[in-house]
């Protein structure tokens, strides 16, 4: 129970105060429930709360609060921000009892049987009841227990090489049983992110990276916009606090000006909507801090050059059959008031996004010549945009909303398909992430006129696999509008595609270059692996004969060790290389026999120039590798282990300098790479290899000088630029090693300056000073090498 602490004995007064606090939070939770609940629903929630409160009564969170406050807050998020009903609320209250207390799943099953608490709330997501079979062995059937089981991290996870990736895989598999598993998991992670301040910095980095890699894209695909946005903002806050705080302060400073402009913009629109009898709510909504930061980085501009800090939203109150007509009528009103920009129009009503999002977006030229984005949607569309899957489910089967009712059904079906044949959890997560952020889609027609919706950028081969795995695997010819096209032809909305198959056709590795959808990649890899397995069987027979003739040993006793000793990633690749004639059997002569097993020859003695830790854990550089130091004497303390020293080196991808937040990545040979917390590779390492991440901090550091290069881009204003830039740097007491500047015909200049700095603060001071010149567009740092 890493995030749970046992409660110290409390006085009677303290116990009484805590009981009052917990009961007050529970009553507030009940007041948040807006859906009607009968006596059975009320009893279910009450019993879940009482069991959770009793199970967690001696536990505290890291911040010192009673642990039961966490499940209560998770349940509240499920109500207010996701919209779950009684069963979901009860499961949220119980989500940690099996993992963190002595309560077992069997006890949950006994106390919350379906016979006592039927899961009959039709508007709560429960899409796959048909796949739930009656438990064997006389077990009591309990939907509550099924969901809680899906939320529990199983004890066997430590046996896996990638425990975090395996955990996410299991959550997704549980979601196929009941989607409420992942919705509650989202609420759990959201509350953990809101209260993450009590954790250590390295723990915060790990959780933030995992959230951004897994939970943020999942929230996007499930349509949980508010939760996704909060995940992203918290990620930026943890990994780049100065940038987050700076943007937060600037948004606060410009709030009054922004609100005045919004009021001025929406007034004529509200007037005309009322004249045409359209009931609507019109308001402005600020963009998230993360999205503003992403835009600044992408466009290489400052905050002052970002003008679309908000969007205008028009939410219409109309009946289902009038939705499209009303949205386009509102569109006409907006374009009557302001000049539209046609190339920036997006119609997600006719073709919704793959996560069910529906809205009509138009950019117009507002007062003072500013570009303003306007989003037009109905109450139903807005509900789905904010609450995603949970809101979508309550419209399923409602007349007038049937066209989008199967969007999430299709997504769940694709997820179920993608989970098959995925032996490597990290590979699955990588494909999963790439499939989550699909912002746009294309509509493709079959020869019979049926419609297939695929992500923009999908190819003809993706289309073939979307029809059926066998159609994709045997695809031989592709015709678009009757014309032959290559497999990698990028599909456009309106294309009519015909697939001609052949039983003799088989996927090749090149096919992986022709597809972008996770479904197609999964099936191609599965087919290739099957081909490899057949080839490996031939290789095994060849190796068996060789081992018998040379050493009189069996292949089964030695093949795994041989593949490892000969530097093959696994036995499959080793045996395939043998079958293809790519292995030289003379390499086996160096091995010796010990009974039924081959033994590896004695390793060569280590050279003097190999890396060895010195008295403070610093590595001696490997021969041939230059690691420039300018009189530096320092140490990195790894994992707070007195007397235990790791041989380490600074990662070249980010080259951290003293004072920056860092972490250590433990290699297979027990050496460590030191990375910056903001390294471009940090998110991947922290989310997929958390078990190899060690705490690292600067120890006895003499703050000497480190070289770094700044690339300055700006508008060429003529004479004086070089003098101003160099003078600015010199005024800060920073030594310039070199400085050159060149211009181009487009009126821009680029300056390259190599500086000697001692701390991140020193460097940031220089960057901020240079950016203060109004003609400077961007200042980019390139760390020359690790110190």
Respond yes or no: is residue 510 known to be catalytic: no
Would you list the DSSP string of 262-277?
HHHHHHHHHHHHHHTT
Token pair recorded at residue 564: 């490892």
Q: Which of 99, 495, 697, 778 is catalytic?
A: 99
Beta strands in 416-549 (DSSP E): 441-445, 451-455, 475-480, 483-485, 497-501
Q: Which of 47, 100, 188, 212 is catalytic?
A: 100
Q: What are phi and psi of 347, to 5 degrees?
A: -105, 95
Q: Rounded distance, CA 8 to CA 60, Å? A: 9
Three-class DSSP category at 488: coil
Sign of CA dihedral 428, 416, 155, 167: positive
| H-run or E-run covering 259 | helix 255-275
Three-class DSSP category at 163: helix
Q: Rounded distance, CA 327 to CA 315, Å? A: 9
Q: Interior CA angle at 76 toward 74 and 82, to 5°? A: 90
Token pair recorded at residue 109: 């099953």
Give Cα 87 distance to the centre of its chain: 28
How far CA 441 is from CA of 349, 353, 409, 437, 481, in Å, comes to 12, 6, 17, 11, 19
Burial 357-374 (b: 16+ CB within 10 A, else e): bbbbbbbbebeeeeebbb
Helices (H) and strands (E) in the chain, counts: 28, 24
Q: Interior CA angle at 677 toward 676 and 681, to 5°? A: 80
Q: Rounded distance, CA 179 to CA 396, Å? A: 15
Return all residues near 484 (Cβ < 8 A) that are at least 6 apart: 477, 478
Of 98, 177, 186, 188, the C-alpha closest to 143 is 177
End-to-end Cα spacing for the chain: 39
SS3 content of the chain, % helix, strand, coil (to 5): 50, 15, 35
Of 78, 175, 126, the C-alpha closest to 396 is 126
Of 242, 214, 244, 240, the C-alpha closest to 228 is 214
Respond yes or no: is residue 188 known to be catalytic: no
Catalytically active residues are 99-100
């Amino acid at each position: 129970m890493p995030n749970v602490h046992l409660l110290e004995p409390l006085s009677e007064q303290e116990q009484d105060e805590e009981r009052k606090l917990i009961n007050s939070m529970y009553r507030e939770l009940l007041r948040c429930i807006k859906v009607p609940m009968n006596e059975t629903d009320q009893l279910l929630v009450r019993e879940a709360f009482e069991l959770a409160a009793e199970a967690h009564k001696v536990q505290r969170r890291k911040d010192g609060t009673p642990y039961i406050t966490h499940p209560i807050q998770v349940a509240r998020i499920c109500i207010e921000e996701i919209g779950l009903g009684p069963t979901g609320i009860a499961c949220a209250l119980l989500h940690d009892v099996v993992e963190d207390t002595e309560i077992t799943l069997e006890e949950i099953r006994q106390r919350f049987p379906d016979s006592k608490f039927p899961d009959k709330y039709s508007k709560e997501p429960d899409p796959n009841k048909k796949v739930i079979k009656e438990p064997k062995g006389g077990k009591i059937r309990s939907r509550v227990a099924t969901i809680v089981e899906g939320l529990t991290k199983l004890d066997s996870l430590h046996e896996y090489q990638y425990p975090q990736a395996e955990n996410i895989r299991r959550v997704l598999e549980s979601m196929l049983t009941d989607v409420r598993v992942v919705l509650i998991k989202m609420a759990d992670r959201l509350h953990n992110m809101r209260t993450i301040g009590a954790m250590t910095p390295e723990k915060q980095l790990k959780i933030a990276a995992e959230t951004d890699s897994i939970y943020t894209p999942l929230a996007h695909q499930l349509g949980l916009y508010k939760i996704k946005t909060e995940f992203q903002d918290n990620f930026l806050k943890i990994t780049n606090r100065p940038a987050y705080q700076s943007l937060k302060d600037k948004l606060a400073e410009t709030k009054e000006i922004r609100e005045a402009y919004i009021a001025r913009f929406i007034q004529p629109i509200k007037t005309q909507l009322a004249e045409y009898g359209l009931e609507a709510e019109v308001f402005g909504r600020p963009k998230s801090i993360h999205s503003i930061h992403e835009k600044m980085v992408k466009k290489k501009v400052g905050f002052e050059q970002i003008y679309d800090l908000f969007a205008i939203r028009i939410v219409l109150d109309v009946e289902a059959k009038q939705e499209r007509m009303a949205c386009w009528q509102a569109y006409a009103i907006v374009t009557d008031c302001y000049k539209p920009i046609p190339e920036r129009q997006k119609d997600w009503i006719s073709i919704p996004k793959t996560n069910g999002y529906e809205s009509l977006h138009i950019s117009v030229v507002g007062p003072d010549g500013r570009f303003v984005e306007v989003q037009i949607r109905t109450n139903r569309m807005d509900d789905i945009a904010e609450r995603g899957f949970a809101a979508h489910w309550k419209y399923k089967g409602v007349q007038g909303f049937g066209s989008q009712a199967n969007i999430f059904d299709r997504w769940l079906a694709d997820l179920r398909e993608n989970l098959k044949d995925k032996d490597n959890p990290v590979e699955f997560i990588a494909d999963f992430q790439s499939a989550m952020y699909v912002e746009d889609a294309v509509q493709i027609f079959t020869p019979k006129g049926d419609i297939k919706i695929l992500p923009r950028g999908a190819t003809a081969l993706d289309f073939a696999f979307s029809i059926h795995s066998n159609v994709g695997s045997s695809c031989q010819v592709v015709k678009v509008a009757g014309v032959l096209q290559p497999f990698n032809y990028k599909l456009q909305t309106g294309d009519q595609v015909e697939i001609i198959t052949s039983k003799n056709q088989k996927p090749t590795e090149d096919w992986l270059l022709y597809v972008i959808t996770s479904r197609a990649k999964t099936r191609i890899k599965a087919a290739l692996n099957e081909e490899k397995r057949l080839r490996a069987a031939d290789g095994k027979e060849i190796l068996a004969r060789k081992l018998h003739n040379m050493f009189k040993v069996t292949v089964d006793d030695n093949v795994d060790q041989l593949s490892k000793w000969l530097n093959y990633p696994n036995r499959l690749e080793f045996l395939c290389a043998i079958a293809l004639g790519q292995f030289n059997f003379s390499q086996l002569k160096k091995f010796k026999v010990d009974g039924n097993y081959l033994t590896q020859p004695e390793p060569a003695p280590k050279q003097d120039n190999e890396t060895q830790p010195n008295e403070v854990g610093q590595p001696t550089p490997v021969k041939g590798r230059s690691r420039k130091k300018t009189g530096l004497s320092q140490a990195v303390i790894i994992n707070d282990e007195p007397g235990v020293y790791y041989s380490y080196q600074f990662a070249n991808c980010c080259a951290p300098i003293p004072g920056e937040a860092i972490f250590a990545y433990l290699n297979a040979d027990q050496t460590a790479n030191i990375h910056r917390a903001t390294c471009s590779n940090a998110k991947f390492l922290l989310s997929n290899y958390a078990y190899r991440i060690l705490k690292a901090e600067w120890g006895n550091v003499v703050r000497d000088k480190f070289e770094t290069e700044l690339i300055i881009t700006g508008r060429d204003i003529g004479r004086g630029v070089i003098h101003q830039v160099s003078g600015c740097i010199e005024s800060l007491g920073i030594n310039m090693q070199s400085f050159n500047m060149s211009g181009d015909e487009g009126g821009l200049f680029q300056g390259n300056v190599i500086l000697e700095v001692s701390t991140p603060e020193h460097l940031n001071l220089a960057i901020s000073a240079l950016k203060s010149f109004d003609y400077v567009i961007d200042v980019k740092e390139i760390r020359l090498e690790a110190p």
